[in-house]
Amino acid sequence: MNIEQFNIRNEDFIVKVTPHLDEKKNWLGEIDISIITSTDNELNDKDFNDLMFLSQMIASSIPLMENDEYYRDVLSDYVHQYIHDNDIEDVDNSREINYDKDSNIISINFNTKTKGNA
């Protein structure tokens, strides 16, 4: 899916995950996390602050996964169950959902599409 296919609106909050890459474009296992919204966001102050706090909680879940094995395992189980319950299949047959939690880093490849509505 191309980024232009998303209907990004002024009131949207985007949690951006940027991988650190080596010169061959291989992921080094580190990321930067940013929260993006428009300066033209027309939400009232309370709604804006509530959604920014929710976005910060989402972004904070990543370092929490790194520090808390129980939390990481709960989220991992939740994702696996979600994939199973929603009958998510690969974009093409040559790709699989790759998952690894043998270290501090959790890698999940969501290059998938769903059957029906997600």
Residues 80, 91 share a domain? yes
| Among the listed residues 24, 56, 57, 18, the one whose alpha carbon sits nearest the alpha carbon of residue 37 | 56
Residues 56, 5 share a domain? yes
- The 10 Å Cβ neighbour count of residue 23 is 5
Residue with tokens 């501090």: 104
- The 10 Å Cβ neighbour count of residue 112 is 15
Residues 107, 79 share a domain? yes
Q: What percent of the chain has pLDDT over 70?
A: 73
Residues 59, 93 share a domain? no
Residues 62, 114 share a domain? no
**0.75 surpassed by pTM:** no
- In angstroms, the CA 118 to CA 100 distance is 24
Residues 21, 4 share a domain? yes
- Tens of pLDDT, residue by residue over 30-71, are 999 999 999 999 999 999 999 999 999 999 999 999 999 999
Sequence length of the chain is: 118
Residues 33, 82 share a domain? no
Residues 73, 41 share a domain? no
Domain of residue 52 covers 1-67
Is residue 104 classed as helix, strand or coil in its secondary structure?
coil
Residues 49, 33 share a domain? yes
Residues 55, 11 share a domain? yes
Residues 30, 44 share a domain? yes
Q: What secondary structure letter does DSSP report for 96?
A: -
